[in-house]
């Protein structure tokens, strides 16, 4: 660690200490809502400092199964006993929101996903799209060091054991996330195009609008092959309760759709401030 890095880390520690002292002054120490608003993907409140703020997030720094990861294909093992996983087709409705950190779709009565590495039925409850400042490196996961322009996450929870996502987050076999990589190409994925039309409506942080008629099953690439590993949420508090299913083929998207989402859609309530795209957490090298 060089001198500059040491100074930066000392600065981060001091800022976090000051924040905590202010919280004590205002009687807010330990307030989950404060820290949930505080974290970002970059800077002092970025991923490398999540585990230094409150005890509930220590696993973000000290966990053994943290995501995202770089997938080293030479270390992958083939499991002949793994079946394909299935999604029950249906058009979905819900709300699409600019959270200030990304685009999130809260799905109403989402489709059921089952089989594959899943021991129970799972329901799709959220969809998130991740972009980066560099339009060619927006994905959270990477393969042999290579990132993709974007990465879609379909967040599911175990509907057989738990009533909702919140209950499942910290629970065994609670959550599965299906990851779909995006690359530039034609024809562009139809479901992604439909969602892109809604993205410009929620240009500012906190804006939301309803969506309907999105056939999530056509968001999937034409493959039944995937890799799976046990990992974590990629946001605080980094719960290690996630079964990751990463499809081995990307979908095609138009570059203009990614540029619109990154450049025109803002991370702030003020239109002129902040791009929505961000540089995501450093890749965790502990898995493969």
* Catalytic machinery residues: 162
Interatomic CA distance for residues 143 and 203, integer angstroms: 31
Which of 219, 264, 37, 231 is CA-nearest to residue 128?
219
- At a CB cut-off of 8 Å and minimum separation 6, what does 245 contact? 85, 116, 117, 176, 177, 178, 179, 226, 227, 228
Coil, strand or helix: which one is 255? helix
Which of 262, 192, 209 is CA-nearest to residue 96?
209
User: How far, in Å, are 13, 54, 181, 232, 252 from residue 51 at the CA level?
Assistant: 11, 7, 27, 14, 36
Q: Which two tokens stand for residue 269?
A: 């309530």
């Amino acid at each position: 660690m060089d001198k500059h890095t040491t100074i930066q880390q000392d600065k981060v520690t001091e800022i976090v200490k000051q924040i905590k002292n202010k919280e004590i002054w205002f009687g807010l120490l330990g307030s989950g809502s404060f820290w949930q608003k505080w974290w970002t993907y970059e800077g002092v409140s970025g991923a490398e400092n999540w585990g230094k703020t409150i005890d509930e997030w220590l696993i973000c720094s000290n966990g053994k199964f943290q995501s995202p990861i770089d997938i080293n294909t030479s270390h992958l093992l083939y499991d002949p006993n793994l079946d394909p996983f299935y999604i029950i087709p249906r058009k979905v409705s819900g709300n699409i929101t600019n959270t200030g950190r990304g685009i999130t779709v809260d799905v109403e009565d989402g489709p059921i996903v089952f089989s594959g590495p899943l021991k129970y039925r799972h329901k799709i409850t959220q969809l998130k799209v991740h972009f980066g400042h560099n339009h060619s490196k927006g994905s959270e996961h990477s393969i042999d060091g290579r990132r993709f322009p974007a990465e879609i996450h379909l967040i599911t929870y175990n509907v057989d054991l738990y009533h909702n996502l919140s209950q499942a987050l910290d629970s065994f076999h609670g959550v599965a996330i299906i990851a779909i990589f995006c690359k530039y190409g034609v024809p562009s994925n139809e479901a992604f195009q439909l969602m892109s039309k809604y993205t410009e409506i929620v240009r500012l942080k906190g804006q939301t609008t309803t969506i309907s008629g999105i056939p999530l099953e056509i968001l999937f690439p034409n493959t039944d092959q995937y890799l799976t590993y046990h990992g974590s949420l990629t946001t605080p508090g980094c719960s290690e309760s996630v079964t990751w299913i990463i499809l081995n083929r990307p979908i095609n998207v138009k570059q203009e759709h990614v540029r619109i989402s990154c450049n025109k859609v803002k991370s702030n309530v003020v239109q002129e401030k902040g791009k929505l795209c961000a540089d995501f957490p450093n890749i965790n090298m502990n898995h493969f």
